[in-house]
């Protein structure tokens, strides 16, 4: 038999003004199972809590109901007090007779009757409450960071500086991402390489960071605090330990005319290469598709010239398993490529702008490479077709972005700003040139952003034309751009030497496949979804996985870095404890009854439900049942409402507890 | 007006089933076949499990082959050998049940050899087995059937069923009830439900009632009234219909076996109709990953929510 | 300031199934804002509307509720990602079932009430209470519970005689 203690709070006069608290205490005192009931002026005060603790001990109470304010206010307080008195905290419930009763009713008789009923319901509920042990999950204090752009670099450095080991996995041969490709950066026009390369070097030298470049995530198992990640380290064909980065191999490689992706195909590279001189690590990789040795078996020059003997044609992909406790996803973005439509893409093409057909129609990133001092032209703005300096240049914004009919309805966020930057860079480099910008709107929120944009018009003499381009075609060595100026209401036609398209920012190819491995959700464009758009912007719904940078949505560098540091802070919070404690409000499966229909698994948004085989002693399969991973379960109870036989139960909200309340009605 | 229904193909269909059964049992494709055989009473049929090619000759298909044999693969699988593939004779409606069971991880396609039957209809439970199949004697479910030719089977006899246009019996009854006031509908169902003797034959026969413990039997806690009286019966029927919504294949076995002639499938059809209207969901031959009640879209109707 | 309290002959019992994060918090806000509403409602707190089993609604009616309210977070605001989306489908279908067996859907209200919508909570609760008050008590399930007969109507003299002899 339960010995329930009921404590009715006056809340000063907040409750007692409209609820006859003594009467409530008297009436609920008569309910079966209630061993003790009393009222007190301020239950949450120290003396109030002491009264509660004393009563638990003296009256040998088995359960407690505190009738006071909202449990959202003080449930924690009273559960702690109950725990201090030696009872399991989950044997304490609150009855809300303030927000839901005394404050919303005026008639004392009605409010008192209601209060008695509310407390009565909670008394019936608490009888069915079970002892719930706090769930603890061990935490492996190492973190995985996927993607080595500025987001991944920042997150990795922050976590490593806090003293935790970081595994940084980058798909390309070097870290750096898009920021390494940029020339100068808005809103300050400092050189991107100058601020980026030191960070890259820090990563390479950090004792706590283990860097896997030219590597991809193969498999992710486990859950928060306890992930097992399998990494595929692709064969580089160069032994990273032996290579000194002297670069002789690259000089000697006879294949020299492979378009360099890092330079947006403007420059050429050999078959054994580093993507750019400041690459980290500075270890070359053999592009096996283009290497003569791999294609025909002949050549082998690089191996011969390599002093330390680092070149290894036999090298194979390696699979490495790393246990980690948290994962930061920072896989960044790619630019919408209008020349070819990726397979299965919902984006419709933009053939009308001649990108890919007209050589001097380029995208923003290509312009960055042209403007970059370390780029293929040494920082001179030259036309890809004939190497001449363009005297008239047209920038077109919102290519692909904000075009619902084309399949992308979002704003790419950085284009307004980088186009303004481009007009400035252009003006600084081609003094007698004229830049035109076609734009729909200028979106420049951000510190010093609007000032920056205005500067491009007011000081750098860019001509901004509000309107869209309808057509663009090659005429001789000019590109005719036809558009409308909707502000003035006239058609405009510009004979340009070069056209730069601000193409949409999109998630990286394969973002969806990675999300599926990680078990995180993504939107229809493949941007990863945060757990809550406002309040949990860096966490995934899947516990222990965090987001940083443009993989979550278009972002500039300041936003990317902020989010990366925020993600790192989340990881550090997780690592601050040896064991992860969580509220034991999780679902549990009654295996005896479970028939393995997995309706629960289908509705679980957290991916907490797994399939578990039940075998007899001989190892014969008896049945497959559901298993809820308590580390992953969010505690919503959707599974229970869905399970036809109610074989999965949410602790703290069991059918018994709820039915007891309904029956108390 | 009574229209006769052409069942002349059933002889050839039976022949083809026997030949196929003979083949797959002798070449070891399957270890057993669940099908129909003639029963003692004239014209009647009953389920049979055969595991020897010699018994293939026993298999038939007639308008009296009313049972949904899917339950013999799950709840009533005692007689089925544990090893190897099992063959099963399925009408379109039965096949929908099998697909549903596969979607709910109760069966695996690779464990089954499906012999689909082109079906022009079977007899209602209210008539004698030897009765001729007509628009009056046909099972009500068959008047609304869209699955006369099962799809995705391993074998289907080549005959095509001829089906005349028929009055959709459930649709008509649903429309009639929908036109009533809530009080009138309550009175109708109260009368129906109060007939129920809680024999649970409907539950026993339903391929989808595979829970080990039914919520309506549970007493700790007692989720709903469990008495075999009007209150408990009503709860049973509401819970049953809800638990089968989005899963029920429409085989109407529940209604067929009910000794008290309660129109159980009427509730099932009503739910099916709502699911079709709300979420464009219909039970079909394909195995769905998720049913309509364990999936959602962000744009689902919420006109009923304030 | 205080309007004259009206005396009613019938005080309906309203039971509300709400989620913790939005509607319960919204009801708390109504309290902190000292809004007033009829005292007929009893609130049962769930973590999420996803946890609310249709069977609870049935149970509530069987236990004598005259009206039932189910309320949670607006779509997209679910604390547990998608619980309310699942609930929305479940209840869309369940209410159609209840309607078909003859339950007047005016007794069953669904709503989205966010943590900021104290006013909406008051409105929803008040409307439902008044609507149900006007409809009178929900007798259907209560009458069923009182009925003894278990197998069809006693519609023949023989049955009647036999029944009277028990
Ligand atoms: C033309 C242009 C100009 C810009 N100019 C500016 C500017 O002046 N100022 C400014 O603030 N912002 C600017 N931006 C925005 C800036 O580039 C981004 O904010 C920033 O690069 C985002 O960094 P990130 O790390 O999130 O992504 P990224 O830089 O894209 O890095 C992602 C990294 O993850 C790796 N990766 C991807 N998928 C995988 C995988 N599956 N496994 C392992 N690794 C993977 C990629 O190889 C890459 O190295 C500009 C953008 C463009 C397009
Ligand atoms: S829904 Fe219920 S019966 Fe089905 S697998 Fe989950 S716990 Fe088991
Ligand atoms: S309670 Fe919610 S999160 Fe936990 S297993 Fe069930 S559906 Fe998944
Ligand atoms: S078969 Fe008929 S009588 Fe038996 S439980 Fe089902 S509905 Fe009731
Ligand atoms: S509820 Fe009836 S019609 Fe539906 S699958 Fe079960 S037995 Fe067949």
Ligand closest to the CA atom of residue C87: 3
CA angle at residue A464 from A462 to A469, to 5 degrees? 125
Decide: residue A602, CB within 10 A, 0-12 exposed, 13-18 middle, 19+ buried.
buried
Asked if the Cβ–Cβ distance from A650 to C90 is below 8 Å, we say no
The enclosing H or E element of A229 equals strand A226-233
Domains and CATH numbers, chain A: 4-127 (3.40.50), 136-221+321-332+512-581 (3.50.50.60), 235-316 (no CATH), 337-506 (3.50.50.60), 587-664 (3.30.70.20)
Q: Do C32 and A635 touch (CB under 8 A)?
A: no
CA separation (Å) from C83 to A604, B274, B296, C93? Answer: 8, 21, 10, 16
* Most A CBs within 10 Å, among C11, C80, C113, C116, to test the A interface: C80
Q: How far is the CA of B282 from the centre of ligand 4 (A)?
A: 25
Structural tokens at position A637: 């109870």
Task: List residues bridging with B90 in a β-sheet.
Answer: B116
Residue showing tokens 């040494």: A378
* Domains of chain B, residue spans: 9-143, 169-294
Cα-to-centroid distance, A589 and ligand 2 (Å): 8
Chain C residues with CB inside 8 Å of B184's CB? Answer: 102
Contact flag C48-A531 (C-beta cutoff 8 Å): no
| Nearest Cα residue to A356 out of A260, A464, A264 | A264
- Say if CB A588 and CB A133 are below 8 A apart: no
HSE-CB for B261 with a 13 A CA cutoff: 6
Ligand 3 touching residue A630 (CB < 6 A): no
Distance of CA C58 to the CA centre of its chain: 9
Q: What are residue B134's phi and psi, to 5 degrees?
A: -135, 175
Q: At what angle do helices C54-62 and B230-244 cross, to 10 degrees?
A: 170
User: Is the minimum CB–CB distance between C125 and chain A shorter than 8 Å?
Assistant: no
Angstrom CA distances, A50 to A16, A45, A57, A290, stand at: 21, 9, 11, 78
Q: Is B239 on the interface with C (CB under 8 A)?
A: yes
For residue B186, the chain C residues in CB contact (below 8 A) are 101-103, 140
Would you state the structure tokens that stand for residue A623, as one six-digit string?
A: 């049945």
Residue B130 Cα to ligand 1 midpoint, Å, equals: 76
Cβ B211 vs Cβ B217: under 8 Å: no
pLDDT band at residue B292 using 50, 70 and 90 as cut-offs = very high
Radius of gyration of chain C (CA): 19
Distances (CA, A) of A121 to A116, A125, B41: 9, 6, 60
Q: Return the minimum-mean-pLDDT range out of A4-18, A43-57, B226-240, C10-24.
A: B226-240
Distance (Å) from the alpha carbon of B69 to chain C's nearest alpha carbon: 28
Closest atom, ligand 1, to C-alpha of A335: 53
Taking each helix axis as running N to C, give the angle between helix B264-279 and helix B230-244, from 0 to 180 degrees, rounded to the nearest 10: 40
Which DSSP symbol is given to A409? -
Burial of B274 (C-beta count, 10 Å sphere; 0-12/13-18/19+): buried
- In the reported structure, the alpha carbon of residue B200 is separated from the centroid of ligand 4 by a whole-number distance in angstroms of 5
- Residue found by looking up tokens 């109610």 in the block: A646
Any chain C CB within 8 A of the CB of B275? yes
Q: How far is the first Cα of chain C from the last one, in angstroms, to the nearest whole number? A: 62
Which candidate from C93, C102, C151 shows the least CB-CB separation from B275?
Answer: C93
Q: Which residues lie closer than 8 Å to B73 by C-beta, 6 or more apart?
A: B34, B80, B86, B88, B98, B101, B107, B112
Give the pLDDT score at B166: 79
Q: Which helix (H) or strand (E) holds A227?
A: strand A226-233
* CB contact (8 A) between residue C80 and residue A650: no
pLDDT of C1 reads 42
| Chain C CB contacts of B276 below 8 Å | none
Q: Give the closest ligand to the alpha carbon of residue B198.
A: 4
Closest listed residue to residue A596, CA positions, set C51, C53, B210, B217:
B210
Which residues does ligand 5 sit against, CB inside 6 Å?
Answer: B 97, 205-208, 244, 248-254, 265, 268
The dihedral region occupied by A99, where left means phi > 0, alpha psi between -120 and 50, and beta the remainder, is alpha
Residue nearest to atom 39 of ligand 1 (CA): A331
pLDDT in tens, B13-54: 999 999 999 999 999 999 999 999 999 988 899 999 999 999
Give the nearest chain B residue to C89 (CA atoms). B293
What are the chain A neighbours of C52 within 8 Å (beta carbons)? 641
Neighbours, chain C (3 or more CB pairs < 8 A): A, B
pLDDT in tens, B183-210: 999 999 999 998 898 999 999 999 999 9
Looking at residue A341, the DSSP 8-state letter turns out to be: P
Rounded Cα gap, residues A353 and A438, in angstroms: 13
Shortest distance, CA C139 to any CA of chain B (angstroms):
11
CA distance A203 to A157: 7
DSSP state of A53: H
The closest CB to that of B231, out of C53, C112, C145, belongs to C145
Helices (H) and strands (E) in chain B, counts: 8, 4
Q: How far is CA A34 from the centre of its chain?
A: 49
Q: Which ligand is nearest to the CA of B195?
A: 4
DSSP string, A375-389: STTTT----TTT-PP
Cβ atoms of residues B244 and B268 within 8 Å: yes
State yes or no: cis peptide before A187, omega within 30 of 0: yes
Is C109 close to B245, i.e. CB distance below 8 A?
no
Query: Can you give the three-state secondary structure of A530-545, one letter per residue?
Result: CCECCCECCECCCCCE
Structurally, what CATH architecture does the domain formed by C14-165 represent?
3-Layer(aba) Sandwich (3.40)
pLDDT at B10: 93
Question: Is B238 in contact with C98 (Cβ distance < 8 A)?
Answer: yes
Are A655 and B106 an interchain contact pair (Cβ–Cβ within 8 Å)?
no
Q: Do B182 and C99 touch (CB under 8 A)?
A: yes
Nearest-by-Cβ selection for B294 from A593, A596, A599: A599
The list of chain A residues with pLDDT below 50 reads: none
- The CA B97 to ligand 5 mean position distance, Å, reads 8
Strand pairing partners for A190?
A185
Q: Please tell me which residue of chain A has the smallest CA distance to B243.
A: A644
Return the SS3 of B178.
Answer: helix
Q: Which residues contact C102 (CB under 8 A, 6 or more apart)?
A: B182, B183, B184, B185, B186, B187, B188, B189, B190, C140
**C-alpha to C-alpha distances, B162 to A206, A263, B10, B13, B166, nearest whole angstrom:** 78, 69, 11, 13, 12
Going C52 to C58 to C62 to C66, the CA torsion angle's sign is: positive
Q: Which residues of A touch B213 (CB under 8 A)?
A: 593, 645
DSSP string covering chain C: --PPPPP-S----EEEEEEIIIIIHHHHHHHHTT----TTEEEEEES-GGG--HHHHHHHHHTT-SEEEEEEPPTT--TTSSHHHHHHHHHHHHHHHHHHHT--GGGEEEEE--TT-HHHHHHHHHHHHHHHHHH----HHHHHHH----SS---SHHHHHHHHH-
- Contact between chains at C15 and A662 (C-beta distance less than 8 A): yes
Distance A645 CA to ligand 2 centre (A): 7
Q: Determine which residue's CA is closest to atom 6 belonging to ligand 5.
A: B206
Report residue B6 as tokens.
Answer: 């052409």
Task: Find which of B177, B240, B302 to mutate to test the C interface (most C CBs within 10 Å of its CB).
Answer: B302
Torsion, CA A103, CA A107, CA A109, CA A110, rounded to 10: -70
User: Do A520 and A528 form a contact (C-beta atoms < 8 A)?
Assistant: yes
CA of B204 to the centre of ligand 4 (A): 10
Nearest CA in chain A to C36: A104
> Chain A: nearest CA to C157, how far in angstroms?
40
| Residue B184 neighbours by CB distance under 10 Å | 12
What is the Cα–Cα distance from A278 to A500, expressed in whole angstroms? 27
Whether residues B194 and C94 touch (CB distance < 8 A) is answered with: no
Q: How far is A600 from chain B (nearest CA, A)?
A: 8
Interatomic CA distance for residues A565 and A356, integer angstroms: 38
Q: CA of A32: how far to CAs of A68, A117, A125, B287, in Å?
A: 21, 14, 13, 52
Ligand located closest to B144 CA: 5
**Contact between chains at C56 and A100 (C-beta distance less than 8 A):** no
Q: Is A403 in the pocket of ligand 3 (CB under 6 A)?
A: no
Rounded distance between C-alpha atoms, residue A572 and residue A632, angstroms: 19
Beta strands in chain B (DSSP E): 32-38, 45-50, 86-90, 112-116
Which chain A residue lies closest to B296 (C-alpha atoms)? A603
Whether B225 shows a pLDDT value over 90: the answer reads no
Q: Please measure the distance between the N-terminal and C-terminal CA atoms of chain A and give it in whole angstroms.
A: 22
**Average pLDDT over all residues of chain B:** 92
CA distance A87 to B150: 62
From the CA of A514, how far away is ligand 1's center (Å)? 17
Q: State the Cα–Cα distance between residues B158 and B115, nearest whole angstrom.
A: 12
Can you give the C-alpha Rg of chain A in angstroms? 32
Burial class (CB in 10 A: 0-12, 13-18, 19+), B269: buried
Q: Which residues of A touch C82 (CB under 8 A)?
A: 603, 605, 638
Give the list of residues 6+ apart from residue B64 with CB closer than 8 angstroms, or none.
B43, B44, B45, B122, B123, B129, B130
Contact B58, B71 (CB under 8 A): no
What residues does each domain of chain C span? 14-165
Q: Does residue A158 contact residue A564 with C-beta atoms inside 8 Å? A: yes
Helix, strand, coil percentages for chain A (3-state, nearest 5)? 30, 25, 45
Q: By the 8 A CB rule, do A304 and A121 touch?
A: no
Pick the residue from chain A with its C-alpha nearest to B239. A644
């Amino acid at each position: 038999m339960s010995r329930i203690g009921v404590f009715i709070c006056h809340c000063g006069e907040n409750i007692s003004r409209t609820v006859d608290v003594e009467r409530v205490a008297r009436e609920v005192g008569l309910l079966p199972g209630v061993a003790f009931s009393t009222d007190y002026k301020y239950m949450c005060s120290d003396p109030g809590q002491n009264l509660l603790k004393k009563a638990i001990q003296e009256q040998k109470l088995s359960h407690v109901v505190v009738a006071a304010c909202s449990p959202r206010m003080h449930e924690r307080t009273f559960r702690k007090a109950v725990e201090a008195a030696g009872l399991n905290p989950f044997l304490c419930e609150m009855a809300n007779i303030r927000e839901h009763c005394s404050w919303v009713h005026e008639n004392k008789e009605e409010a008192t009757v209601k209060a008695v009923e509310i407390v009565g319901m909670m008394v019936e509920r608490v009888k069915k409450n079970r002892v719930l042990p706090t769930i603890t999950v061990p935490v492996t204090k190492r973190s995985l960071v996927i993607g080595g752009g500025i987001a991944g670099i920042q997150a990795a450095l922050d976590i490593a500086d806090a003293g935790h080991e970081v595994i940084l996995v980058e798909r390309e041969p070097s870290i750096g991402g898009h920021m390494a490709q940029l020339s100068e950066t808005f809103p300050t026009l400092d050189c991107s390489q100058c601020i980026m390369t030191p960070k890259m070097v820090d990563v390479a030298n950090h004792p706590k960071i283990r860097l896997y470049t030219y590597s991809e995530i193969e498999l992710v198992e486990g859950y928060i605090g306890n992930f097992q990640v399998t990494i595929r380290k692709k064969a580089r064909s160069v032994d990273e330990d032996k290579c000194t980065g002297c670069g002789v191999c690259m000089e000697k490689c006879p294949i020299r005319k492979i378009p360099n992706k890092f330079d947006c195909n403007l420059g050429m590279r050999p078959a054994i290469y580093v993507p750019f001189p400041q690459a980290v690590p500075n270890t070359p990789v053999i592009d096996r598709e283009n290497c003569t040795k791999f294609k025909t078996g002949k050549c082998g020059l690089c191996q011969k010239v390599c002093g330390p003997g680092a070149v290894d044609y036999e090298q194979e992909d390696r699979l490495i398993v790393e246990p980690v406790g948290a994962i930061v996803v920072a896989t960044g973005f790619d630019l919408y490529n209008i020349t070819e439509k990726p397979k299965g893409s919902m984006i419709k093409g933009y053939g009308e702008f001649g990108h890919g057909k007209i050589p001097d129609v380029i995208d923003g990133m290509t312009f960055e490479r042209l403007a970059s001092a370390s780029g293929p032209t040494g920082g001179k703005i030259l036309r890809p077709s004939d190497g001449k300096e363009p005297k008239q240049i047209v920038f077109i914004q919102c290519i692909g972005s904000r075009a619902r009919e084309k399949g992308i309805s979002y704003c790419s966020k950085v284009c307004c700003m980088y186009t303004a930057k481009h007009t400035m860079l252009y003006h600084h480099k081609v003094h007698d040139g004229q830049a035109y910008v076609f734009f729909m709107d200028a979106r420049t929120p951000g510190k010093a952003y609007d000032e920056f944009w205005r500067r491009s018009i007011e000081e750098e003499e860019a001509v901004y034309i509000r309107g869209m381009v309808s057509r663009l075609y090659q005429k001789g060595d000019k590109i005719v751009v036809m558009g409308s100026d909707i502000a003035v209401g006239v058609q405009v036609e510009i004979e340009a030497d070069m056209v730069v398209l601000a193409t949409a920012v999109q998630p990286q190819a394969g973002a969806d496949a990675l999300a599926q491995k990680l078990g995180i959700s993504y939107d229809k464009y493949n941007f990863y979804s945060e757990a809550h758009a406002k309040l949990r912007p860096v966490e995934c719904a899947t516990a222990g996985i965090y987001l940083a940078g443009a993989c979550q949505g278009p972002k500039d560098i300041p936003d990317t870095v902020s989010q990366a540091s925020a993600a790192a802070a989340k990881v550090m919070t997780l690592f601050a404890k040896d064991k992860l404690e969580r509220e034991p409000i999780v679902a549990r499966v009654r295996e005896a009854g479970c028939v393995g229909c997995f309706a629960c698994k289908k509705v679980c948004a957290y991916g907490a439900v797994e399939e578990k085989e039940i075998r007899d002693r001989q190892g014969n399969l008896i049945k497959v049942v559901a298993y809820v991973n308590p580390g992953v379960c969010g505690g919503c109870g959707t599974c229970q409402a869905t399970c036809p036989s109610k074989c999965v139960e949410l602790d703290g909200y069991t059918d018994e507890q709820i039915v007891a309340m309904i029956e108390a009605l | 007006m009574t229209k006769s229904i052409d069942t002349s193909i059933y002889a050839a269909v039976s022949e083809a089933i026997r030949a196929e059964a003979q083949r797959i049992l002798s070449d070891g494709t399957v270890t057993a076949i669940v099908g129909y055989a003639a029963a003692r009473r004239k014209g009647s049929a009953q389920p049979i499990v055969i595991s020897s090619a010699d018994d293939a000759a026993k298999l038939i298909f007639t308008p009296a082959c009313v049972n949904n044999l899917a339950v013999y693969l799950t709840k009533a699988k005692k007689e089925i050998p544990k090893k190897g593939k099992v063959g099963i004779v399925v009408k379109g409606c039965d096949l929908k049940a099998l697909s549903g069971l596969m979607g709910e991880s109760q069966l695996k396609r690779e464990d089954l050899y499906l012999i689909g039957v082109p079906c022009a209809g079977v007899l209602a439970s209210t008539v004698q087995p030897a009765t001729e199949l007509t628009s009056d004697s046909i099972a009500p479910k068959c008047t609304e059937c869209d699955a006369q030719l099962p799809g995705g089977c391993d074998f289907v006899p080549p005959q095509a069923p001829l089906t005349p246009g028929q009055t959709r019996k459930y649709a008509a009854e649903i429309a009639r009830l929908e036109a009533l006031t809530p009080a009138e509908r309550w009175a109708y169902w109260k009368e129906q439900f109060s007939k129920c003797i809680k024999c649970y034959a409907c539950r026993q026969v339903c391929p989808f009632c595979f829970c080990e413990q039914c919520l309506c039997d549970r007493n700790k806690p007692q989720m709903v009234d469990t008495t075999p009286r009007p209150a408990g019966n009503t709860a049973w029927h509401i819970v049953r219909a809800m638990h089968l919504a989005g899963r029920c294949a429409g085989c109407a076995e529940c209604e067929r076996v009910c000794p008290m002639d309660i129109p159980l499938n009427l509730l099932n059809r009503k739910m099916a109709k709502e699911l079709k209207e709300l979420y464009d969901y219909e039970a079909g031959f394909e195995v769905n990953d998720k049913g309509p009640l364990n999936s959602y879209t962000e744009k689902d109707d919420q006109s009923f929510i304030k | 300031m205080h309007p004259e309290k009206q005396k009613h002959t019938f005080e309906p019992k309203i039971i509300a199934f709400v989620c913790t994060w939005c509607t319960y918090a919204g009801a708390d806000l109504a309290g902190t804002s000292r809004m007033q509403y009829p005292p007929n409602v009893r609130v049962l707190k769930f973590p999420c509307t996803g946890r609310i089993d249709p069977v609870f609604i049935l149970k509530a009616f069987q236990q004598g509720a005259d009206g039932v309210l189910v309320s949670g977070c607006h779509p997209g605001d679910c604390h547990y990602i998608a619980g309310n989306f699942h609930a929305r489908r479940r209840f869309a279908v369940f209410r159609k079932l209840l309607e078909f067996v003859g339950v007047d859907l005016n007794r069953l209200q669904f709503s989205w009430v966010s943590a900021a919508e104290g006013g909406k909570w008051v409105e929803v609760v008040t409307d439902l209470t008044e609507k149900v008050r006007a409809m009178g008590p929900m007798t259907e399930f209560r009458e069923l519970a009182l009925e003894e007969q278990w197998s069809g109507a006693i519609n023949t003299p023989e049955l009647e005689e036999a029944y009277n002899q028990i």
